[in-house]
Structure 1
């Protein structure tokens, strides 16, 4: 799924065809302010090359990509004087634009962000939890 995708809003930003407030303009990534931010400074980090999800991103690019995310998270605190940050991505489900992107959002205590997370669930037993862990671990090899 690599390359540039016609009709992709984020590919248009990367190509300079769509206006955006750029935060990072690097050879491998672009970061820009979200047009509908959770809080002012909410930034989207995207690879220049079109990859739809995290699983499509080549392994050798994971480190460099997340180095940029780490720097953005630090800037939320140092530049915007946020108490911390929220760093997240969706893969397919709830992914509003099918181009890999990481949300880096400044956070402060009692900032009013509620309902962003789904209700938590419990495993029926330790055995069920162990089964999920074993299945996932087996899928990684």
Structure 2
């Protein structure tokens, strides 16, 4: 497999490991957006969160929970982000959680600053709601 994260897990690419469990690993991002930018990934290859089984999912987010306070100490605030699929901005098709230390002068904004505002009619919202609750 030609997945950079799988190569990191296999020890083929060196990295700065922050923590790990039997199913997950946390390490410094090689191309950080801020000092301390950390990635938390499952050790097995999954493209999307919903592809993971419950045990591995729980393990991944448990490690996120354990590492987050360490990252948060750097600036006092941390962006936790998951791009779940190519269209969502996922560049490497292996589940990964970004922990990005944030500060008031880092030039990034809230999530709503990433998108052009959209206006949906009540009927469109109702239609989406029905689809989501019926699944």
Coarse TM-score class (shorter-chain normalised)? 0.7 to 0.9
Q: Deviations over 1:109-135 (max 9, x none)?
A: 232115972223221x22221211111
- Counterpart of 1:3 in structure 2 is none
> How far did residue 104 of structure 1 move?
0.8
3-state SS in 1 of match to 2:66? helix
Q: Deviations over 1:43-100 (max 9, x none)?
A: 111111111111111123222211111222222223x1x2211111112222111111
Q: 1 or 2, which has the higher helix percentage?
A: 2
Unaligned runs of 5+ residues in structure 1 are 1-5
TM-score, normalised with respect to structure 2: 0.87
Residue 130 of structure 1: which of 123, 126, 129 is its match?
Answer: 126
Asked if residue 96 in structure 1 is aligned to residue 96 in structure 2, the reply is no
- Counterpart of 2:20 in structure 1 is 25
Residue 86 of structure 1: which of 68, 72, 79 is its match?
Answer: 79
TM-score, normalised with respect to structure 1: 0.83
- 8 A contact 1:83–1:109 mirrored in 2: no
Residue 116 of structure 2: which of 108, 114, 119 is its match?
Answer: 119
Q: 1:120 to 1:70 in 2, by over 3 A?
A: farther
Unaligned runs of 5+ residues in structure 2 are none
Q: What is the distance in 2 between the residues matched to 1:83 and 1:122? A: 34
> How far did residue 42 of structure 1 move?
0.6
Root-mean-square deviation (CA), in Å? Answer: 1.8
- Counterpart of 2:58 in structure 1 is 63
- 8 A contact 1:31–1:46 mirrored in 2: yes
Q: What is the distance in 1 between the residues matched to 2:39 and 2:31? A: 11
3-state SS in 1 of match to 2:67? helix
